């Protein structure tokens, strides 16, 4: 049994909130660079160049990549041989978010009640997803999610007979309806299977997979490549102003489901697709 104190968790999550909001992941940087090289549309290429310049300024001057610093979504994979001491794990996660958004001067965007809508003033509570895994480590993924793209999310409860063509249609419909509202070029996370809530979680988690790593399941990898090609032929383009770079990646995760269902969730993220990962 290995012991981890909540102070270590707080410290790391605080740093990760700041890191994710100021520095784009290497996979996303490379994807944007390659997209700029391939883009044929003059306005599309100009926008991609401006996005790359924005990323450089954000990193050099410690300015958030985007003014919407997101609602903190945290994935915590807990090794079953880990003992957390010093307080409740959930309290530690929220304290890390609280400190990170305060010390990083990040915009506080969370309201305590969805109807009353009074700001909590510290960007808590976070949305936390726990998973118990083997080992004696804790893997933490901090993924701040802005709502320009989050609002474009969709769930489709398809019939089994709809099959893979129905899945393709659902994803293409979601992206087409999102249009420029999700700040393209986008990353599209897709969850297929499970139940109503499970497929949504899969779609969210899919966004945290590096965009240069395709699915290890052959047919899923083919589906990712096909959807990427079809979406980029839509002409939406960077910032919705036309071009061949509407999405940088389509990441799909599947899960077993019921014989009577085919749930599909689409969670779209803008070009920053922020996430930071650490193992304690």
| Residue 82, pLDDT score | 97
| Residue 223, pLDDT score | 98
| pLDDT tens per residue, range 188-213 | 999 999 999 999 999 999 999 999 99
DSSP the chain: -EEEEHHHHHHHHHHHHHHHHHS--HHHHHHHHHHHHH---HHHHHHHHHHHHHHHHHHHHT--SSS---EEEEEEEEETTEEEESS-HHHHHHHHHHHHHHHTT-----BSSTTT--B-SS--S-EEEEEEESSS-EEEEEEEE-HHHHTT-EEEEE-GGGHHHHHHHHHHHHHHHHGGGG-SSEEEEEEEEE-HHHHHHHHHHHTTS-TT---SSHHHHHHHHHHHHHHHTS---GGGSSSS-SEEEEEEEEEEE-TT-EEEEEEEE-TT---EEEE-
Question: By percentage, how much of the chain surpasses pLDDT 90?
Answer: 98
Mean pLDDT value of segment 26-49:
94
Of residues 271, 273, 279, 280, the one with CA closest to residue 44: 271
Mean pLDDT value of segment 22-39:
93
Q: Please give the backbone phi and psi of residue 138, each rounded to the nearest 5 degrees, phi first.
A: -120, 120
| Residue 23, pLDDT score | 94
Confidence of residue 162 (pLDDT cuts 50, 70, 90): very high
| Residue 70, pLDDT score | 95
Q: Please give the backbone phi and psi of residue 17, each rounded to the nearest 5 degrees, phi first.
A: -60, -40
Mean pLDDT value of segment 216-236:
97
The phi-psi region of residue 70 (left if phi > 0; otherwise alpha if psi is between -120 and 50; otherwise beta) is: left
Q: What is the mean pLDDT of the chain?
A: 96
Confidence of residue 122 (pLDDT cuts 50, 70, 90): very high
Look up tokens 């944007």; give the residue: 32
Confidence of residue 186 (pLDDT cuts 50, 70, 90): very high
Confidence of residue 13 (pLDDT cuts 50, 70, 90): very high
Question: By percentage, how much of the chain surpasses pLDDT 70?
Answer: 100
Please tell me the distance from the alpha carbon of residue 50 to that of residue 45, in angstroms, as a whole number. Answer: 9
Check whether the bond before 185 is cis (ω within 30° of 0).
yes
| Residue 158, pLDDT score | 98
Mean pLDDT value of segment 230-259:
96
| Residue 156, pLDDT score | 98
| Residue 225, pLDDT score | 98
């Amino acid at each position: 049994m290995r012991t981890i104190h909540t102070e270590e968790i707080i410290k790391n999550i605080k740093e990760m909130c700041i890191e994710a909001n100021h520095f784009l992941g290497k996979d996303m940087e490379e994807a944007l660079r390659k997209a700029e090289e391939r883009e044929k549309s003059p306005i599309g290429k100009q926008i991609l160049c401006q996005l790359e310049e924005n990323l450089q300024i954000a990193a050099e001057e410690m300015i958030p990549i985007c003014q919407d610093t997101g609602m903190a979504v945290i994935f915590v994979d807990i090794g079953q041989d880990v003992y957390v001491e010093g307080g409740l794990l959930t309290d530690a996660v929220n304290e890390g978010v609280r400190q990170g958004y305060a010390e990083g001067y990040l915009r506080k965007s969370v309201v305590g009640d969805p109807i009353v809508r009074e700001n909590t003033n510290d960007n808590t509570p976070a949305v936390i997803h726990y998973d118990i895994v083997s080992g004696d480590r804790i893997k933490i993924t901090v993924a701040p999610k802005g709502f320009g793209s989050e609002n474009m999310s969709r769930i489709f409860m398809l019939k089994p007979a709809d099959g893979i063509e129905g899945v393709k249609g659902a994803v293409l419909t979601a992206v087409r309806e999102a249009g420029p509202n999700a700040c393209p070029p986008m990353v599209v996370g897709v969850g297929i299977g499970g139940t109503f809530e499970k497929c949504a979680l899969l779609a969210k988690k899919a966004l945290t997979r590096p965009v240069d790593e395709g699915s290890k399941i052959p047919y899923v990898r083919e589906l990712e490549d096909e959807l990427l090609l079809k979406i980029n032929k839509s002409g939406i383009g960077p910032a919705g102003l036309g071009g061949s770079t509407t999405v940088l990646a389509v990441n799909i995760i599947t899960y077993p489901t019921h014989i009577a269902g085919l749930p599909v969730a689409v969670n779209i993220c803008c070009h920053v697709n922020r996430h930071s990962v650490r193992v304690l």
